[in-house]
Structure 1
């Protein structure tokens, strides 16, 4: 990857995160009058905070993406069998999705049931399956499980600060840009790394 390609990925992801955060933030602000970013309620000030929040979330997404690429590179060197690596990734996906529902239902006892806390992992799983299928269509079938792993397990790990709160608005405000930025990065990766000679 050249510096120019990395700049393209960085800036497009940054702008995408800012736009999605602004749209989601404005929807949340106008649908829930109590919603405010950083405890401030002035709309103009909130717009700036939403843009800055989106930029921060997009940078977090990019850090998670490059961390995943490094871990994947190291794991491919240690675990020689593709089947074992794929099974390990699927196991982590299942554990991450289950823990997202289970740990939140036990930590926030009284505010919901395990079934109500299972809705968010189910939404993340559906989006992850859709992006993984799309990536598989763009490249090859070997991209399905790594994309599913990145879109679900890595996104959940990146969203831990918002998931620690029992607040749907904060979870939605952080997860929506994260999912969009992660999907953008994983879907465009093969185009950025494409060698023009091949």
Structure 2
């Protein structure tokens, strides 16, 4: 990937993260806006807008760091574990979903039933499955499992700060931005790489071999 395209991807993802967090904040943090609007204070509205926009930028940066880190981890896993890397990803996905249900239930004190903790993992799995299906349709079947792993496991890791805050509002504020940024990067990468030569492109998450240079064919001189 050229530096120009990388900067364009970074800025576009950054903008999406900020805008989505700002829009979601109207619903999740509506009481803050109600205070600023009654009585109306233009400065408070501007401060709230800049605050949630900046928060969205932070969520986007976290997503982008995790995405490029995963590309490295995926290639490392393929090189070290080879055919075992697929089953390992399945086990990690299952453990992450179990963690989102059981350990969150054990760490949260309250009257909430165990069934309520299945909502987030189930929604994350269904959304990740849909994104992975689109990724595999647009690239190849081998990209499905890595895409699902990224959407479930890596997204869960990115949400750890929101979980540690022990506030559902923080989860609801961070989750849409992180999910969208992860989805956008995952589905846009192969489109960016389509116009690149193999030695310049970033390896896809579903690829099993690093980019190889094209061999130049030498013309044989005809003997007379």
The TM-score, its normalising length taken from structure 2, stands at 0.80
Q: 1:88 and 1:195 mapped to 2: Cα distance?
A: 32
Is residue 2:142 matched to residue 1:142?
A: yes
Is residue 2:45 matched to residue 1:55?
A: no
Q: Deviation at 1:29?
A: 2.5
Q: Give runs of aligned pairs for residues 1-198 of structure 1, distance below 5 A.
A: 1-30=1-30, 42-81=44-83, 84-196=84-196
Structure 1 consecutive aligned stretches of length 4 or more whose deviation exceeds 4 Å: 31-36
Structure 2 vs 1, CA of residues 66 and 197 (structure 1 numbering), >3 Å: closer, same or farther? closer
| SS of corresponding position for 1:190 | helix
Partner of 2:219: none
Any unmatched runs of 5+ in structure 1? 37-41
Q: 1:128 and 1:31 mapped to 2: Cα distance?
A: 32
1:22-62 deviations in whole A, cap 9, x for unaligned?
Answer: 110112233787999xxxxx433111111000000000000
Q: 1:150 and 1:141 mapped to 2: Cα distance?
A: 15
Comparing 11-20 and 109-118, the one that deviates more:
109-118
Contact kept in structure 1, 2:26 and 2:33, CA below 8 Å = no
Superposition RMSD in Å: 2.2
Q: 1:34 and 1:119 mapped to 2: Cα distance?
A: 29
Which structure has the larger Rg? 2
Q: Deviation at 1:197?
A: 5.8
1:55-114 deviations in whole A, cap 9, x for unaligned?
Answer: 000000000001101101111111221xx2111111111111110111111001224122
Q: 1:27 and 1:89 mapped to 2: Cα distance?
A: 35
Count of residue pairs the alignment pairs up: 192
Q: 1:196 and 1:108 mapped to 2: Cα distance?
A: 48
Any unmatched runs of 5+ in structure 2? 37-43, 199-224
Contact kept in structure 2, 1:135 and 1:147, CA below 8 Å = yes
